[in-house]
Structure 1
Amino acid sequence: MDSNGSPRFPNLFQPLQVGPVTLRNRVTIPAHQPRLAKDSLPGDAYIEYHRTRARGGAAMQSTGNTAVVRSALAEVGPVRLANVDDRIIPGYQRLAAAVHGEGGRILAQLGHMGATAQASNMIVVSASWVVSEVSRDVARAISEAEMEELRDAFQAAAARCRQGGLDGVEVLMYTGNLLVSFLSPFSNQRQDQWGGSLENRMRFPMAIVQAVRDGLGSDRVVGIKLTVDEFVEGGIDLPQGVEIARRFADSGLIDYLSVTVGNNLTLASQKRDRWPTGSVHGEFRPQSRAVKQAVGRLPVCYIGGVTDLQMAEEIVASGDADMVGMVRAHIADPDVVRKGSEGRLQEIRPCIHSNVCINVTHGRKAVRCISNPEVGEELTWADAYANRGPGRRAVVVGGGPGGLEAARVLAELGHGVTLFEKEGFLGGQMHRWSSARYLNEARRVVGWWSSRLKELGVDVRLGQPAEAQTVTQLSPELVVIATGSRPMTAPVPAAEGSSVKQLDAWQGLEGLASGRAMIVDDMGRQDAFHVTERLIETCSEVYLVTSCIHVGEGEGVGTLPQTLTRMEQLKVKIVERARPRRIAGSSVEVLGLFGGEPRIIEDVDSLVYWRGGVSETALADALRAAGVRVELIGDAVLPRRVYDAVQEGATLARTAFAEQVPALAT
């Protein structure tokens, strides 16, 4: 790694002193939950996840938020870390050795989720009694005896971090968790010494920081991940947040501050720190700038939707922060820093802000990524790349995300690959779904796949439908069918002479809808919102009618709150728990699923139906009849989500020839 910066990133790649440690550059990977722990301890998968990103050049990483008391274990589960006894020390030692061996620094984030915890068998506590709009759980006020127990637990946990050889601890005071609930007048209604004035509200969080410093010692890093603007009426606003940051800085107990925003107890505020596709990146630089100006020389880390090195460089160069946290960028490509420092920017696998990583982990599954199916399985993939067999011949039919990833992995492993795509473009459904200007960002990963296939020498045949005879003439030892699906049609009964133009989702995305439009959604997924975005560009007014309990029913916290906000901004008219029953003239009769009087929506020009797809498998059947080895992936198996197709394509390509020996003839 170039410790003297680079011509393109002269500030970002400069070293930085943070307390007792020197960072090799200004790029960090803030705390997040990959859900890779084993029995709440750092196992092989967890350690390799962090080792891989240290090898890629990240200066400093933090573990995911780690419980320090046994009462929080129900919320944590076995795939998240728990620092409640000495069993974690050997795992910390292995983790520290792995990251240090690659030139990086590693901290443990310690915290208590408070009212943001989501576990039915856990007693949830907060500074005061509060109800979460997200989980709908009630949190009771924590007692002083529990506060004392927690202070001791933080100190003991910090001591274990020291024994484990970690570089320090980050204390979590973020978006509604227990410690920030004391800081916020929104969630702290206490009438004792722990509530009321700012001095009182800071008393317990400050005591926790002191306990961490006592347990850790002066030769380790202590930082705080701090919410400085909650965007909640009656909560922490920016002036209060800046004052809180200044007081922590003046305490002399900490070595850096990470600046965040939002409050995960409220739906309206929760959306502020998710940044899905199309959102503004780096939008909270003013908050970071205000904190930096208040705390002077204390290092400040900006966290918030930054996924490219150029923006990170701008943030550091402007003085808005000293470091930039880039979690998602490193999920998509663990080598982003190394590639940037070597001038290989075009090779960086882009994050497209699909928020699969957030939705999957909030669903209590291991981290996943549309751009990078290797994430969370670093050991498995390292073994595959290290033990490549002799090259074979493979054909991939279909240039959508699954087919592109299958072709890439096959070629990376040394196989000869030909890819057929009947359209004149790559990307398949992703190309279509991202046709709206607001969603064009999603096409960046298609561009990356295309460039990578060219570098690997894959024979890409655009505009060439694959036929059985054409494929068999290539003598492939494997044919991957990634032909996707076509929209399921379900026209609404229409009286003779009706003028409403009925279209499928593809036609809607192609811009064929006009005038006053209605999209009918039976799936409850992000797809319907993507079609809606496109209709907004081509139509004068848009109704979104869904048979789901609510729109986006199948979406997660990483996308739904932001998307609903976007629909409000676009003035989309939403009708839930309903379906169109018939069309007469230009009027559409909509009937509620649970009864009630029909609703007539008049002057409709276009109706677009989205109810999923039907797999395209005709070629697979013909090739099997010819005795060719055929494997299906993605929507050709069953119409699902993009990351399912990408994951299947990668896994198949990695394992397809693992047990076979004969080499590719040259």
Structure 2
Amino acid sequence: MGSKYEHVFAPIKIRGIDFKNRVTLAPPSPNVANQDGTMSRDFVDWMRPLARGGTSILYVGNATVDKNECHDEETQIDLGTDRCVLPLSWYAEMAAQYNCHASFEVNHNGKDTAFETVGHAPYSASSIITSSEISRAKRLGRAPIPSIEMTHEKIAETVDKFASACYRMKEAGMDIALIHGGHGNLISQFMSPLYNKRQDEYGGTTEKRARFAIEVCDAIRKKVGNNFVIEFRISADEIAPEGMHFDETLKMIEYLQDHIDILHVSAGLHSDFDFKYYRNWCQNFLMPRGFNVHYARDVKKAFPNLLVTTVGSITSLDLGEEILANGWADFVAMCRPLMADPDMPRKYAQNRPEDRRPCLRCDACTRFFPPRPLNCAVNPYSGVFKEIKDGVVPKAPVKKKVAVVGGGPAGLYAMMALCDRGHDVTLYEKTNQLGGSVVPAAHAPFKIDCQDYLKWLLREVTKYPAKILMNTEASKEILDKEAYDAIIVAVGSKPIVPSKIPGISKPHVHWAPDAEMGKVPVGNKLVIVGGGAVGLEAAIDFKQMGKDVTVIEMLDTEKHFVSLRQSSKHAGDEMLAIMEEQRIPLHLNNRLEEVRDDKIICKDLATGELVEYPCDTVLLALGMTPLTDVADALRHSAAETDVFIVGDAKAVGNISTATNGGFQAAIHI
């Protein structure tokens, strides 16, 4: 019997090429290719679970048409020379084993190549200095360098580079390519009035600005022949005020439609304006699911005969089925959700969607600064793809008696991996609830991704044969008595409470997540001390409950912004925007000095003056500190080389560090 997801799993033939379903991998950059731009065996193995899991097309992001001219990733695939063909065939033939189409997003990033990377100014449609170059120059301590306006000869050369890149892909066994015409890359630099200031046949009117894109697609078709599919990625709206907006994009599509086979509809810009419009093509967990689907829907309405791919926070195939059934698109592209669970298509085809491992949209996978191989907060297999072949944990040569102390994400993933290894596992959880820090993290109504993940995690652990002891604190005496062969200590962390501040122990002072979860009473006028992610999420949550909320933070504007970016990626930007929209005061440069019954006293670090903030409740969100003393007490309850401290008990991190740390300890026992 087939699945109930008849639209997702409907096959389609394009140019005689069979695609088994409508699910495509939106293009990631795994950072596992060779540094000279060639394909590696590691790259093939990293992609294998995605091919095996049932996806129809695998796209890989930002493959350059010429690494010597346009290069902005450490291990970027280079399609610019014939030497790429043989290694590419490893990738193509691996995917073909699973009736999957291997491919690349073919790109020239134009203005965004740094001078330092290639030794010359970048090429673009026009000679401009972009906001991203201004930021880069400031960071590097040099003057901004304008891009070089492409001559007609350079345009012709670049058109041929695109065509030759796709021909090399075909030579390697591929039959489809995604041409990157969006997000402010070179093709869109020609298409957009934001970047194209030319006065010749490549600039001015919409039709003239479409010319370069059309020449690229026509050159590709001429080079690869008819039995090759051209998908073209576009930003339906660049969002930036002077950029290309949707009404003009529809006109652009009129000129493009006869030169392509599929239109891949995204939105936003990549790096300009300090990544302000990054959120429009890579949404964070505070944003709606299916964020850009309306653009694809409206394109499909205007061009019903054009095949359309939609992308942007399509977090499940339930949503994908709805999109396809409504006729809003012909393909659904997913990246982070498929990295979170490469087997998602297979699970849906087998009518068990509840087994999908949900994506958090936390962007823990975006490890570019500094570059690292991509991994995932909820899928620890991606971080050890070389050690764990095909995502299957191998059985241990010797069955051992193992204890896991702590039922948060680190402990639960350790427990599951230990059971997969075949060990006799006992998990100790001192409270009456599993989930650890994920429980408060998922509490706010707007944390929909985390809520789905917590439900999945708690359901998943019930499938394993471990003995789980709730309301049981594992002491050294208990562990010593049981004589475990190995122990994983995942006891987590505790909130930081600055004990020397006068009044900090007053009864109206609480840890912010406890207040959100209703564990402690709160009044109507709240001050939250700490403007990190925990504090800002609590502020938004309480504001939506109708409370009067104020946030104070010790860092200044620049340091606070950087700190939020480091801890919460671009969700931090979103939190600040929501704070402003909901008119929640955020007072920076303020250090808590004293808590009184009806107010707090802070020191303004910029002026040195004392400032008062009236309140009836004080909520602390000053961070966490490892339960080092608890972990240390258990270090000698088994052979010391077989005791592992993981998760927040080792160093306070996030769900990703907990998940990966617990799992990685377990697979080596």
TM over 0.5: yes
2:304 aligned partner: 296
| Correspondent of 2:11 among 10, 15, 25 | 15
Q: Is the 8 A contact 2:394 2:420 kept in 1?
A: no
> How far is the alpha carbon of 1:578 from its aligned partner?
3.2
> How far is the alpha carbon of 1:164 from its aligned partner?
1.0
2:668 aligned partner: 655
- 2:225 and 2:396 map into 1 onto residues whose CA distance is 47
For residues 435 and 369 of structure 1, do their structure 2 counterparts lie closer, same or farther at Cα, with a shift above 3 Å needed? same
2:528 aligned partner: 519
Q: Is the 8 A contact 1:418 1:458 kept in 2?
A: yes
1:510 aligns with 2:522: no
1:33 aligned partner: 29
| Correspondent of 1:612 among 613, 616, 623 | 623
For residues 583-620 of structure 1, give each alpha carbon's deviation from its aligned partner in whole angstroms, at most 9, with x where no partner exists: 55634343343x32536243222232333222224444
Paired letter, 1:381: I
- 1:272 and 1:80 map into 2 onto residues whose CA distance is 23
* Aligned sequence identity (%): 24
For residues 434 and 56 of structure 1, do their structure 2 counterparts lie closer, same or farther at Cα, with a shift above 3 Å needed? same
Paired letter, 2:336: R
Q: Is the 8 A contact 1:34 1:361 kept in 2?
A: no
- Which 10-residue stretch deviates more, 563-572 or 633-642? 563-572
1:377 aligned partner: 384
- 2:636 and 2:506 map into 1 onto residues whose CA distance is 46
2:239 aligned partner: 231
For residues 357 and 135 of structure 1, do their structure 2 counterparts lie closer, same or farther at Cα, with a shift above 3 Å needed? farther
| Correspondent of 2:20 among 11, 24, 31 | 24
For residues 627 and 175 of structure 1, do their structure 2 counterparts lie closer, same or farther at Cα, with a shift above 3 Å needed? closer
Paired letter, 1:212: I
For residues 305 and 440 of structure 1, do their structure 2 counterparts lie closer, same or farther at Cα, with a shift above 3 Å needed? closer
1:126 aligned partner: 124
Q: Is the 8 A contact 1:108 1:166 kept in 2?
A: no
1:396 aligned partner: 404
SS of corresponding position for 1:136 = helix
SS of corresponding position for 1:64 = coil
> How far is the alpha carbon of 1:149 from its aligned partner?
2.8
- Which 10-residue stretch deviates more, 128-137 or 341-350? 128-137
Q: Is the 8 A contact 1:525 1:553 kept in 2?
A: no
Structure 2: where are the runs of 5+ without partners?
137-143
Paired letter, 1:605: D
Q: Is the 8 A contact 1:434 1:442 kept in 2?
A: yes
Q: Is the 8 A contact 1:397 1:479 kept in 2?
A: yes
Q: Is the 8 A contact 1:514 1:538 kept in 2?
A: no
- 1:407 and 1:567 map into 2 onto residues whose CA distance is 39
For residues 543-582 of structure 1, give each alpha carbon's deviation from its aligned partner in whole angstroms, at most 9, with x where no partner exists: 2222332241524654233232222233221222332334
> How far is the alpha carbon of 1:246 from its aligned partner?
2.8
SS of corresponding position for 1:385 = coil
Q: Is the 8 A contact 1:517 1:539 kept in 2?
A: no
For residues 502 and 228 of structure 1, do their structure 2 counterparts lie closer, same or farther at Cα, with a shift above 3 Å needed? same
For residues 520 and 386 of structure 1, do their structure 2 counterparts lie closer, same or farther at Cα, with a shift above 3 Å needed? same
Count of residue pairs the alignment pairs up:
644
- 2:596 and 2:426 map into 1 onto residues whose CA distance is 50
| Correspondent of 1:165 among 150, 170, 173 | 173
> How far is the alpha carbon of 1:440 from its aligned partner?
4.3
Q: Is the 8 A contact 1:492 1:583 kept in 2?
A: no
1:186 aligns with 2:194: yes
1:142 aligns with 2:149: yes
- 1:495 and 1:297 map into 2 onto residues whose CA distance is 69
- 1:119 and 1:575 map into 2 onto residues whose CA distance is 39
- 1:234 and 1:113 map into 2 onto residues whose CA distance is 20
Q: Please list, as runs of the form range in 1=range in 2, the aligned pairs for 1:29-68 lying within 5 A after superposition.
A: 29-39=25-35, 40-68=37-65
For residues 572 and 58 of structure 1, do their structure 2 counterparts lie closer, same or farther at Cα, with a shift above 3 Å needed? same
Q: Please list, as runs of the form range in 1=range in 2, the aligned pairs for 1:260-659 lying within 5 A after superposition.
A: 260-264=266-270, 265-266=272-273, 267-358=275-366, 360-361=367-368, 363-382=370-389, 385-386=393-394, 388-490=396-498, 493-494=501-502, 501-511=508-518, 512=520, 513-521=522-530, 525-537=532-544, 540-548=547-555, 549-551=559-561, 552-555=564-567, 557-583=569-595, 586-593=598-605, 595-596=606-607, 598=609, 600-628=611-639, 629-656=642-669
> How far is the alpha carbon of 1:66 from its aligned partner?
0.7
Paired letter, 1:600: V
| Correspondent of 1:107 among 103, 106, 126 | 103
1:154 aligned partner: 162
For residues 499 and 52 of structure 1, do their structure 2 counterparts lie closer, same or farther at Cα, with a shift above 3 Å needed? closer
Q: Is the 8 A contact 1:400 1:430 kept in 2?
A: yes
- Which 10-residue stretch deviates more, 633-642 or 607-616? 607-616
Paired letter, 1:393: K
- 2:551 and 2:657 map into 1 onto residues whose CA distance is 26
Q: Is the 8 A contact 1:116 1:132 kept in 2?
A: no
For residues 417-474 of structure 1, give each alpha carbon's deviation from its aligned partner in whole angstroms, at most 9, with x where no partner exists: 1111112111111211222111143132233232222212122222222223333343
- 2:508 and 2:294 map into 1 onto residues whose CA distance is 47
The TM-score normalised by the length of structure 2 is 0.90
Q: Is the 8 A contact 2:646 2:662 kept in 1?
A: yes
> How far is the alpha carbon of 1:388 from its aligned partner?
4.0
Q: Is the 8 A contact 1:504 1:610 kept in 2?
A: yes
SS of corresponding position for 2:337 = helix
SS of corresponding position for 1:175 = coil
For residues 448 and 135 of structure 1, do their structure 2 counterparts lie closer, same or farther at Cα, with a shift above 3 Å needed? farther
> How far is the alpha carbon of 1:309 from its aligned partner?
1.0
The TM-score normalised by the length of structure 1 is 0.90
- Which 10-residue stretch deviates more, 94-103 or 543-552? 543-552
Q: Is the 8 A contact 1:125 1:141 kept in 2?
A: yes
- 2:116 and 2:432 map into 1 onto residues whose CA distance is 51
Paired letter, 1:228: A
1:90 aligned partner: 86
- Which 10-residue stretch deviates more, 620-629 or 369-378? 620-629
SS of corresponding position for 1:331 = helix
For residues 625 and 293 of structure 1, do their structure 2 counterparts lie closer, same or farther at Cα, with a shift above 3 Å needed? closer
For residues 440 and 425 of structure 1, do their structure 2 counterparts lie closer, same or farther at Cα, with a shift above 3 Å needed? farther
Q: Is the 8 A contact 2:26 2:59 kept in 1?
A: yes
- 1:555 and 1:216 map into 2 onto residues whose CA distance is 45
Paired letter, 1:520: V
Q: Is the 8 A contact 1:516 1:539 kept in 2?
A: no
For residues 582 and 470 of structure 1, do their structure 2 counterparts lie closer, same or farther at Cα, with a shift above 3 Å needed? closer
For residues 516 and 198 of structure 1, do their structure 2 counterparts lie closer, same or farther at Cα, with a shift above 3 Å needed? same
- 1:440 and 1:76 map into 2 onto residues whose CA distance is 32
| CA RMSD after TM alignment | 2.6
Q: Is the 8 A contact 2:419 2:466 kept in 1?
A: yes
1:662 aligned partner: none
- 2:130 and 2:604 map into 1 onto residues whose CA distance is 31
- 1:190 and 1:492 map into 2 onto residues whose CA distance is 64
Paired letter, 1:126: S
Q: Is the 8 A contact 2:308 2:331 kept in 1?
A: yes
> How far is the alpha carbon of 1:492 from its aligned partner?
7.3
